[in-house]
Amino acid sequence: VMSLYYVDELNQKEIGAVLGVSESRVCQIQNKAILRLKSSLKDWR
């Protein structure tokens, strides 16, 4: 999801179509990924 959003520059609706999930599910996955990245970066310091 993150790669499709930031590298391929697809929006959430387009990502949902590619993955076969709803736009709201893409949003959930993206939010969870962002939280995991923030947590990893916090521990990295």
Q: Please report the DSSP string for the chain in residue order.
A: -HHHHHTS---HHHHHHHHTS-HHHHHHHHHHHHHHHHHHHHHH-
Q: Is the pLDDT of residue 42 over 80?
A: yes
Mean pLDDT value across residues 13-33: 98
CA distance 5 to 14: 9
Pair of tokens at residue 40: 């990893």
Instruction: List pLDDT tens digits, range 1-22.
Output: 999 999 999 999 999 999 999 9
pTM of the model: 0.85
Q: Domain limits of the chain? A: 2-44
Pair of tokens at residue 29: 């996955």
Q: What is the pLDDT of residue 45?
A: 65
